[in-house]
């Protein structure tokens, strides 16, 4: 669909919306960011737009000289990766899938679980990063080795899928864990104390702004290292169980809570994406559905009005509280009757039920000028944090 334009209020930039459904609370958050003094060009809203703390998930905007900590989410660098196995997924019975899930849950710390003791060895480039404060450096030293290669909770997942050709895929969704949360919290407090605007931004030409950019970049690199470490363990486990090596060339990894220096409309800008993915023309990305619906490998179309962005998933239509109030465990079990999952956790997993999310087909229709779907991945087994 072509974007719908929301006429700007006095002193604000326009808003372009790629969703047929615009939640009132999300529109309010869009108008709030569009009115900030540092925002340039326009604000772009992705089709998975929904209300979140500070700024709606699915919001993309640009600044010339500011970084806005409160516009990036707490899980900096959070993203999704996908790994293909040339193996006939249809040959896997529920017993094999259940065994794989059990082994993955044993091998990978999920939910609040972290590595015990000293944790894992960090990649050399992340062993002693130059964080902006001693407190953050101590948090990194304490948390990074124990959180590397861990899944986390909420909507983070490990998932086994089947593509249209019958091959098996492993998908995982996780981010920067406690490291990113500590960095996000610190710079949000700095911005509230000395930033500009009612959603405070820090001028990147100041020490505070430069420190924020550097620390956020570190968090994003840790998030990628976390996915790589988690994938290395999970991929090896699946390969061992099935006796087949992964197709490394097919691997895809994208992140969706970040700020990046990019050229748009003829000038360098700081592009902020909260719950949105940046893709160059022809670049592959991932748009996951819910734990009971399909995910897609897509190719970017580099739509300039969207700052070359697309949705990061299906997008919530029910808050976690609403999902707990409205969705019964039995309804979740029925929705997932063709998917292997931990049925003993059904009461806790209603927050992630398919009914809590938008129809992924609608999302892709709404962003037809942002991405082209290339591969449909149907869920077979899902491990939620």
Residue of 50, 186, 256, 312 marked active site: 312
Distance, C-alpha 239 to centroid of its chain: 26
Cα–Cα separations (whole angstroms), residue 268 to 13, 41, 88, 208: 18, 12, 46, 20
Which residues does residue 157 pair with via DSSP β-bridges, in sequence order?
A: 173, 384
Assess whether 312 carries a catalytic annotation.
yes
Residues with Cβ within 8 Å of residue 9, at least 6 apart in sequence: 31, 34, 35
**Residue ranges with strand state E in the chain:** 4-6, 15-17, 39-50, 57-63, 66-67, 79-88, 157-162, 167-174, 202-203, 247-255, 257-264, 267-274, 276-278, 284-287, 295-300, 309-311, 371-384
Question: Which phi-psi region, left, alpha or beta, contains residue 182 (left: φ > 0; alpha: ψ -120 to 50)?
Answer: alpha
The bridge status of strand 39-50 relative to strand 15-17 is: parallel
Cα dihedral 312/313/314/318 (nearest 10): -80
Q: What distance in Å separates the CA atoms of residue 262 and residue 34, rounded to the nearest whole number?
A: 19
Catalytic positions are: 312
């Amino acid at each position: 669909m072509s974007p719908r334009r929301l006429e700007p209020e006095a002193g604000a930039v326009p808003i372009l919306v790629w969703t047929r459904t615009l939640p009132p609370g999300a529109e309010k958050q869009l108008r709030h960011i569009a009115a900030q003094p540092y925002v340039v060009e326009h604000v772009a809203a992705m089709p998975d737009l929904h209300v979140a703390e500070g700024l709606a998930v699915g919001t993309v905007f640009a600044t010339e000289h500011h970084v806005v900590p409160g516009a990036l989410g707490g899980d900096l660098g959070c993203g999704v990766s996908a790994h293909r196995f040339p193996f006939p997924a249809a040959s896997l019975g529920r017993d094999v899938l259940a065994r794989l899930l059990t082994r993955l849950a044993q091998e990978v710390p999920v939910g609040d679980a972290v590595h015990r003791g000293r944790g894992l060895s960090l990649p050399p480039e992340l062993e002693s990063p130059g964080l902006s404060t001693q407190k953050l450096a101590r948090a990194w030293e304490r948390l990074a080795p124990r959180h590397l290669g861990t899944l986390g909770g909420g909507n983070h997942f490990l998932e086994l899928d089947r593509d249209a050709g019958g091959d098996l895929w492993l998908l995982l969704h996780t981010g920067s864990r406690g490291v990113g949360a500590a960095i996000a919290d610190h710079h949000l407090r700095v911005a509230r104390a000395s930033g500009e605007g009612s959603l405070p931004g820090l001028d990147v030409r100041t020490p505070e702004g430069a420190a924020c950019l550097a620390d956020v970049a570190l968090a994003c690199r840790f998030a990628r290292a976390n996915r790589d470490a988690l994938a290395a363990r999970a991929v090896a486990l699946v390969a061992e169980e099935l006796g087949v090596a992964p197709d490394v060339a097919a691997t895809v990894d994208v992140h969706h809570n970040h700020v990046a220096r990019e050229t748009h409309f003829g000038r360098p800008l700081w592009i902020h994406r909260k719950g949105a993915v940046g893709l160059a023309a022809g670049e592959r990305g991932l748009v996951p559905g819910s734990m009971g619906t399909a995910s897609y490998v897509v190719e970017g179309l580099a739509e300039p009005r969207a700052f070359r962005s697309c949705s990061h998933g299906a997008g919530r239509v029910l808050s976690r509280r609403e999902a707990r109030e409205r969705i019964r465990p039995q309804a979740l079990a029925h929705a997932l009757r063709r998917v292997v999952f931990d049925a003993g956790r059904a009461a806790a997993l209603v927050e992630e039920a398919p009914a809590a999310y938008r129809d992924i087909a609608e999302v892709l229709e709404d962003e037809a000028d942002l991405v082209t779907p290339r591969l449909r991945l149907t869920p077979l087994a899902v491990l939620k944090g």
